[in-house]
Amino acid sequence: MPAFDLPLQDLERHRPEPDEPADFDVHWAAALKDAAQRDPLVSVRPVETGLRLTRTWDVTFRGYAGDPIRAWFSLPAGARKPLPAVVEYVGYGRGRGLPHERLTWVNAGYAHLLMDNRGQGDQYGNGGDTPDPHTVVSGGPGPVVRGLLSPPDYYYRRLITDAVRAVTAVRSLPGVDPVRTAAVGNSQGGGLALAVAGLVHDLTAVLVTAPFLCGMRRSLELTDAGPYGEIAAYLSVRRGCEETAYRTLSYVDGVSFARRAQAPAHFGTGLRDTVCPPSGVYAAFNRYGELSGGGHSCKEIHAYPFNGHEGGEAEQVRRQLSWLDSQLAH
């Protein structure tokens, strides 16, 4: 598909005014305060994977409202000292899958926590193990529209809170150096990692590729691919609810989280991406760290002109590995 968004030279200058509610910080402080009152870990059970160079545990931690959230935690076999941790978030419709699927970060020598997505896992990959007990809230079949007309009840308020709690959980695990923690994700996972960077101010690094939930209003005007299509279909039935929905989405927009982030950041985007349009990614990148007084001076972005949502794939991962090694030196 030809490039459909702004030309690269315009993307590099793309700094739209944030669509941000006045009580954005209050909204998230309330969500995280409730979660922080609970001990993070519920259980940590060893798992036999058949892998000789990696040890893995099935972790359950407390997320939003104390709900149990599943994760895989892995360490390099034979690790003798606490390691920097990578918390990874997965894409829309995916769950944590099987413990031997995502080995890049543990093979690079990091402690690795892979968070499950509550109420997801039935569209791609090898499934998930975390229900969302709050799905009685009205909405369509996909999680992106669950509670869309009510900011306190919106699905992503719960999932982002889970993502923040995953950082707290990994820092509580044996074998982890709690002062060196990175957040990593692609697509929805990139949106979650970016949100974590805006809410966890002592994060060491964040790496996001094709992040979802960025520049929501413009993205919805540009595309009906992927989850944006679910929102469009929902609003085609709920006529007259557009501004109510946009208000809810403004509480989870990655541009607002990016503005508050402090950690060094590594971005990637495909300029032909119709699922997570590059103008949303650049809006977050160009405003990254502007409210925090830090982080914005240590950021980089890699654009792939002839790629769509797949972005740079293995080339992007290669760049991430090199960059993160410089940020979380062993």
Catalytic residues: 187, 273, 309
Residue from 30, 20, 13, 34 nearest 248 by CA:
20
Helix, strand, coil shares of the chain as percentages rounded to 5? 35, 20, 45
Contact (CB, 8 A) for 272 and 210 = no
- Work out the angle at residue 305's Cα, subtended by the Cα atoms of residues 299 and 311, and round it to the nearest 5 degrees: 65
Q: Is 247 exposed, middle or buried (0-12, 13-18, 19+ CB in 10 A)?
A: middle
Residue from 265, 234, 111 nearest 180 by CA:
111
The three-state secondary structure class of 132 is: coil
Residue from 195, 323, 189, 202 nearest 258 by CA:
195
- Type of residue at 218: R
Which distant-in-sequence residues (6+ apart) come within 8 Å of 158 by Cβ?
A: 63, 64, 65, 67, 118, 132, 134
